[in-house]
Amino acid sequence: MRKSRFGVIGVGTWGENHVRTYSQNPRSEIVAISDINEERGKAIGERYGVRYYKDYRELLKDKTIDAVSVATPDFLHKEPCIDAAEAGKHILVEKPLATTVEDAEAIVKAARKAGIKLMVDFHNRSGEGIAFGEGDRRACLYIRQDQQH
């Protein structure tokens, strides 16, 4: 079975977690990363033995990359997601998908038009905040969001 080949756009705390996870999964391969912080990007690229790009659009030109993780700050998800869709890359984007309804709709529209898979990395699907409702449908017991700008 061929490994899925990934790029990661934005390698702050969550983005580096994506890089580490892809590098540890026997079914995936991390190919390249991108971050506007050159010092951090180069250091993480060296640590994991992958190419580093300051401009994510250069990463998207790599035909060997199947999919990207977008782990930029929340308000910067729109452009990398749309550009990745237009480049034919499947997308895993950190939550939230976008900070405005208009941006979220634009991302979804681009993904549909390109025929690629788009997924939001919302990993808290179980735990004390989630319970089963009627028909085994999950029901959220509470929602809390803290934002830092």
User: For residues 33 and 109, what is the distance between their CA atoms, to the nearest angstrom?
Assistant: 25
Bin 88: left if φ > 0, else alpha if -120 < ψ < 50, else beta. left
In tens, the pLDDT along 22-55 reads 999 999 999 999 999 999 999 999 999 999 999 9
The reported pTM is 0.83
In tens, the pLDDT along 60-94 reads 999 999 999 999 999 999 999 999 999 999 999 99
Domain architecture of the chain: domains with CATH: 4-140 (3.40.50.720)
How many CB atoms lie under 10 A from the CB of residue 15? 23
